[in-house]
Amino acid sequence: MKIHEYQGKKLFADFGMPVQDGYIFDKTEDAESTIKKVQQDFNTEDVVVKAQIHAGGRGKGGGVKYSPNFDKALENAQHILGMNLITHQTGESGQLVRKVYVTEAFDIAEEYYAAITLDRGKGMDVFMVSSEGGVEIEKVAAETPEKISKVWIDPLLGMKSFQARKLAYALGLTGDAFKAATKILMQMYHAYQSIDATIVEVNPLILTTDGRVVVLDAKVNLDDNALFRHKDIAAMRDLDEEDPNEVEAGKFNLNYIKLDGNVGCMVNGAGLAMATMDIIKLAGGEPANFLDVGGTASAETVKNGFRIILSDKNVKAVLINIFGGIVRCDRVANGVVQAVKEMGLKVPVVVRLEGTNAKEAQTILAESGVDIIPALGMKDAAQKVVNAALGN
């Protein structure tokens, strides 16, 4: 799960990290009062107006504006709220800005990068810092990898202070700023651990002209599997930032991702679902979605799956590909027949059922009288559904 910058900073602040803070507004009429409150509470004339969307690259896209005075801040705030922000992470369609964060501003001397994530290969968390903050870290990694320093953290020991010191030295810090940064890096690790994050990233972490170290941005992704032990964080989920169909699918324990093609597919198991998308492409079609119905493909699941797939108007044909293990194919077949009868489907449906009770399933489909195209094997199924989508 992703959360917004302002939420991430709130979590960081709970662990003692000094963050650049401010207030949020989501209605134009609140812009003025929010800016005034930030100016008053943080004792500042200049502020920063920041779009809150889940994608990165907000600054480059025009969603983050330094504002030297109230009038400029109001102008920026009114412009950013409701804008369609396009960044390298939103794709061409962009993302509507529904929340704006007005924060205090700092005079920046240096910008650094700090992040913790899992190193899958090593099976350990890795803490990375760079003296090249404020820019895309992928670029730094590609062009000047020597400017990134890493420490790997023993899972049973946790991060040790010598490791935090090593990272702070790598940033070139000295004196009080060094001490402050060491403390912040430890706090950042504790936050990462405590909230079950999959990534925490601060870009930039800044050194101000008066020698303070401050967190200027927060990217926090959480492990969905661990949200059961973080009810407060789970409540931070912003459904406006997610695809409505994917949210809807989630309610029925379906795992759906919309793609750009015209061949819908419904499959049990994530690996087989991906392989089905791939073979649709090889057969000359384009998959319209990823949909894993999981281990329980009942009539209800199939119906909801159809509904979600067909809410995408590009879909011209649907392939159901089930390899019954624990799932019994005869039950799936009954579900398909029932769903097709009830919903009166307007697009051709190709069905491939293999595994447990596959023969019984084929009989059920054949005798149902509903207009379903049966297929044998994945190659046959892919070819048939692509032909159907092309209107052949």
The piece of 163-171, 192-200, 304-312, 340-348 that touches another protein (CB under 8 A) is 192-200
Closer to another protein at the Cβ: 216 or 297? 297
* Smallest distance from another protein to CB 146, Å: 18
DSSP 90: T
The piece of 6-14, 129-137, 266-274, 341-349 that touches another protein (CB under 8 A) is 266-274
Instruction: Give the amino acid at 132.
Output: E
**C-beta neighbour count of 357 within 10 angstroms:** 17
The piece of 171-179, 277-285, 337-345, 360-368 that touches another protein (CB under 8 A) is 277-285
Under the binding rule (CB under 8 A), the answer on residue 378 touching another protein is yes
Under the binding rule (CB under 8 A), the answer on residue 127 touching another protein is no
Cα–Cα distance between 90 and 68 in angstroms, integer? 28
Closer to another protein at the Cβ: 176 or 224? 224
Which residue in the block uniquely carries the two structure tokens 């489909």? 365
Q: Applying CB under 8 A, which of residues 29, 92, 93, 123 lies at the interface with another protein?
A: 123
Host H or E run for residue 67:
strand 64-67
Q: Applying CB under 8 A, which of residues 277, 315, 336, 375 lies at the interface with another protein?
A: 277
Cα–Cα distance between 91 and 264 in angstroms, integer? 22
x-or-dash string of contact with another protein, 217-256, rule CB under 8 A:
------xxxx-xx-------------------------x-
The piece of 30-38, 62-70, 99-107, 153-161 that touches another protein (CB under 8 A) is 153-161
Radius of gyration of the chain measured on its C-alpha atoms? 26
Q: Applying CB under 8 A, which of residues 8, 264, 287, 348 lies at the interface with another protein?
A: 287
Instruction: Give the amino acid at 83.
Output: M
From residue 303, give the alpha-carbon distance in Å to each of 10, 83, 88, 337.
41, 37, 36, 10
Under the binding rule (CB under 8 A), the answer on residue 284 touching another protein is no
Q: Applying CB under 8 A, which of residues 24, 108, 118, 126 lies at the interface with another protein?
A: 118
Pairing mode of beta strands 22-25, 100-104: antiparallel
Under the binding rule (CB under 8 A), the answer on residue 264 touching another protein is no
Closer to another protein at the Cβ: 38 or 222? 222
Cα–Cα distance between 102 and 70 in angstroms, integer? 11
The pair of three-digit structure tokens given for residue 20, joined into one six-digit string: 């650049």
Residues 53-112 that bind another protein (CB under 8 A): 89
The pair of three-digit structure tokens given for residue 173, joined into one six-digit string: 């810090």
Closer to another protein at the Cβ: 39 or 321? 321
Q: Applying CB under 8 A, which of residues 29, 92, 107, 138 lies at the interface with another protein?
A: 138
Q: How far is CA 136 from its chain centroid?
A: 18
> Please, which residues have CB within 8 angstroms of residue 138's CB and are 6 or more apart in sequence?
none
Under the binding rule (CB under 8 A), the answer on residue 152 touching another protein is no
Q: Coil, strand, or helix at residue 42?
A: coil
* Smallest distance from another protein to CB 257, Å: 6
Residues 56 and 87 sit within 8 Å (Cβ to Cβ): yes
Under the binding rule (CB under 8 A), the answer on residue 163 touching another protein is no
| C-alpha angle 346-348-353 in degrees, rounded to nearest 5 | 130
Under the binding rule (CB under 8 A), the answer on residue 376 touching another protein is no
Residues 277 and 257 sit within 8 Å (Cβ to Cβ): no
- Rounded to the nearest 10°, the torsion over CA 106, 108, 110, 114 is 30
Residues 325-364 that bind another protein (CB under 8 A): 325-326, 354-356
Under the binding rule (CB under 8 A), the answer on residue 279 touching another protein is yes
DSSP 287: B
Under the binding rule (CB under 8 A), the answer on residue 190 touching another protein is no
From residue 245, give the alpha-carbon distance in Å to each of 286, 315, 322, 387.
19, 14, 22, 26
* Smallest distance from another protein to CB 319, Å: 13
Q: Applying CB under 8 A, which of residues 32, 75, 136, 196 lies at the interface with another protein?
A: 196
* Residues in touch with another protein (CB under 8 A): 89, 118, 120-121, 123-125, 138, 154-156, 193, 196, 198, 223-226, 228-229, 255, 257, 259, 267-282, 287, 290, 292, 323-326, 354-356, 377-379, 382
